[in-house]
Structure 1
Amino acid sequence: MAKTPSVFIDGEAGTTGLQIRERLAANPHVALRSIAPDRRKDAGARREMMEEVDLVILCLPDDAAKESAALAASLGDKAPKVLDASTAHRVDSAWAYGLPELTPAQPALIADAQQVSNPGCYPTGAILMLRPLVEAGILATDYPVTVNAVSGYTGGGKAMVNAYEARTAPDFEMYGLGLHHKHVPELQQYSLLTRRPIFVPAVADYAQGMLDAVPLHLDMLKGNVTPADIEALLAARYAGSDYVRVVPAEAGGKIEPQALNGTNGLEIRVYGDAALGQAVLVARFDNLGKGASGAAVQNLGLMLGIPVNADLPVAHPHAAE
């Protein structure tokens, strides 16, 4: 009988780590390992654990993730595979980018990699909308892309979660307006853009759920395309995908961010008016699902060659509320 692969979540007490554990807890194809709470920061205990498991998931701040990745790499033949959920290695060429839907070849690249970097939440939706247009020659690589996005507060880390739950945070807040948000390099690189995109994120007073919106002027695209052409191209690109779907835009021109909470799903809609020459592409997904923990479980399945369900065990809208 084949050995059940074992997994250690380094940082399992955080939001992402807890949701990864919940998604994996009932999976008979993987064995979860843990360090006693009082030894979680003990380098020796972590090293011993890394020597024993097949894969380590890093749910840590960037600097700690770099240290943990270096510790794993130092084990030589005993080194486990590493899946990093932080920002630390997302544009590092030595790490595979963990977005299986990026290209047809990406799942095999992730499966073969020793080190995989889980995508950022905001870039996930934008890249999946932009890259197919660039690859098709419709969107020029130097198009002045803007991405406007909103997330539930669980995407902002412990301090933001505490502020919202203590009712000391505003109902809605734009941020990153200094234009140096840490997700921009990743967004630009994997969308194949040569011009730095403008990224305007926002957070609102709800726990989880995300919208990425990309407005487009059709006369600046190539090939005289219509919104229907863009929708058809994206639908063909993700046909057969387990988690990414292109769905018709609602006639009312409204969309809320929480409908996919608890799932690893991502929906793309193309809103537009050919007569006006304008379109808005919108991706809806769970910032803790396809934007974090669900994506990590999806990647884990590829890296270990095991079946996984990347949704929460009981997935339903507004699952975190």
Structure 2
Amino acid sequence: MSRRVFIDGAAGTTGLEIADRLAGRDEFEMIVLEDAARKDADARAEAINDAEFVILCLPDDAAREAVSLIRNDRVRVIDASTAHRTAVGWTYGFPEVTGRKAVAGARRVSNPGCYPTGFIALLQPLVSSGLLPSDWAYSCNATSGYSGGGKAMIARFEDDGDIAFRDYGLALGHKHVPEMKMHTGLRWDPVFAPAVVAAHRGMVVEVPLALEAMATAAKPEVLREALRHAYLGSEIVRVADDQPDEVLLRRSMEPVDTLDLYVFGSRDGRQARLVAVLDNLGKGASGAAVQNLNLMAGLPETAGLRL
């Protein structure tokens, strides 16, 4: 028996990629609104309440409004916006960190942000195990393809071929910071430095570590082994054994739903760089939503994913 799914915001980048991953899967029956009805409140409310699973690919306020339209206790929600990532009563949809059983049994799931996915994947296992301190002032340097910025940013980069790099969030207080802090158990807000480059997709997230300045911190090789143990058996999160000379983002990158983690350490063990590489539209958005949907529907976790 197929399960009815409605993607609210299906015309956006994230919604389109989710639909592409679900196309041809007979486990799901998609509820699709005609173009004229997509912004009609009554039509949306009917679709939301007719579905078993609703995936919200909307701005924050619109996502909150969509949840308010639910009139029964059957509908289960995956919200890809920022609206509910630290909200009480919502399960954080990062199965490798939150737990697969927690996601599978949840009625309200908040999809992680793309940048926080890399940051949390790198730090949470290390902080929770005491290998890195929770009261350190961490920073996060991150670079993404422009597709994560929505239609306006996509148009800006594609219409102006002279833009190579966009540094932003310079006023600090980025909306991802509460999510990054909460789901790693940190005492202080991390200093978050995001940037966008002239590539459609792809993302590198880095956390530099001054290990010698920390009162309690493990050596780089111990950190690497701890991450490998934390994600042992995962087909999605992979921890590299080696330390390549460089990490690249290519404009030709194809959609992928994996997350690759690296631990680079100085020879004397006094410094380290934790690095995550992912597709901002894959494990950073649409792939994560499909992974969560699979678990909530009782299906194999990686069904329909690009691995």
Name the TM tier (shorter chain): over 0.9
**Quick one: which amino acid aligns to residue 128 of structure 2?**
E
Q: Which runs of 5+ in 2 are unaligned?
A: none
Q: Which whole-Å CA distance do the structure 2 matches of 1:63 and 1:82 have between them?
A: 15
**Does residue 275 in structure 1 map to residue 268 in structure 2?**
yes
Higher mean displacement: 168-177 or 84-93: 168-177
SS at match of 1:126: helix
Q: Which residue of 1 aligns with 2:225?
A: 232
Give 2:249's match in structure 1, choosing from 257, 276, 283. 257
Give the Å deviation of 1:306.
2.2
Give the Å deviation of 1:217.
1.2
**Quick one: which amino acid aligns to residue 249 of structure 2?**
P
SS at match of 1:63: helix
Give the direction of change, closer, same or farther, for the CA distance of 1:122–1:69 in structure 2 (3 Å limit).
same
Q: Which residue of 2 aligns with 1:127?
A: 120
Give 2:305's match in structure 1, choosing from 299, 304, 311. 311
**Does residue 94 in structure 1 map to residue 89 in structure 2?**
yes
Q: Which whole-Å CA distance do the structure 1 matches of 2:167 and 2:269 have between them?
A: 28
Give the direction of change, closer, same or farther, for the CA distance of 1:224–1:202 in structure 2 (3 Å limit).
closer
Give 2:75's match in structure 1, choosing from 74, 80, 97. 80
Give 1:117's match in structure 2, choosing from 107, 110, 113. 110
**Does residue 38 in structure 1 map to residue 36 in structure 2?**
yes
How large is the RMSD of aligned CA atoms in angstroms?
A: 1.7
Give the Å deviation of 1:159.
0.8
Q: Which whole-Å CA distance do the structure 1 matches of 2:276 and 2:262 have between them?
A: 6
SS at match of 1:22: helix
SS at match of 1:102: helix
Give the paired residue count.
305
Q: Indicate conservation of the 8 Å contact 1:227/1:274, yes or no.
A: no
**Quick one: which amino acid aligns to residue 278 of structure 1?**
Q
TM-score, normalising length: structure 2: 0.95
Give the Å deviation of 1:249.
3.7
Give the Å deviation of 1:261.
4.0
TM-score, normalising length: structure 1: 0.91
Q: Which whole-Å CA distance do the structure 1 matches of 2:79 and 2:193 have between them?
A: 25
SS at match of 2:261: strand
Aligned residues with identical type, % of pairs: 46
**Does residue 140 in structure 1 map to residue 123 in structure 2?**
no
Q: Which residue of 1 aligns with 2:190?
A: 197
Give the Å deviation of 1:222.
5.4
Q: Which whole-Å CA distance do the structure 1 matches of 2:28 and 2:88 have between them?
A: 28
Q: Indicate conservation of the 8 Å contact 2:202/2:253, yes or no.
A: yes
**Does residue 47 in structure 1 map to residue 45 in structure 2?**
yes
Q: Which whole-Å CA distance do the structure 1 matches of 2:177 and 2:82 have between them?
A: 11
SS at match of 2:69: helix
Give the Å deviation of 1:223.
5.2
Which deviations, in whole Å up to 9, do the C-alpha atoms of 1:85-137 show, x marking residues without a partner?
0000000021110000114xx21111111111000000001101101111111
Q: Which whole-Å CA distance do the structure 1 matches of 2:172 and 2:194 have between them?
A: 10
Q: Which residue of 2 aligns with 1:319?
A: none
**Quick one: which amino acid aligns to residue 56 of structure 2?**
L
Give 1:171's match in structure 2, choosing from 164, 173, 186. 164
Give the Å deviation of 1:276.
5.6
Moved over 3 A (4+): 220-224, 258-261
Q: Indicate conservation of the 8 Å contact 1:295/1:310, yes or no.
A: no
Higher mean displacement: 259-268 or 224-233: 259-268
Give 2:281's match in structure 1, choosing from 285, 288, 291. 288
Which deviations, in whole Å up to 9, do the C-alpha atoms of 1:43-90 show, x marking residues without a partner?
111122122211110001111111001112xx124x411110000000
Q: Which whole-Å CA distance do the structure 2 matches of 1:55 and 1:148 have between them?
A: 35
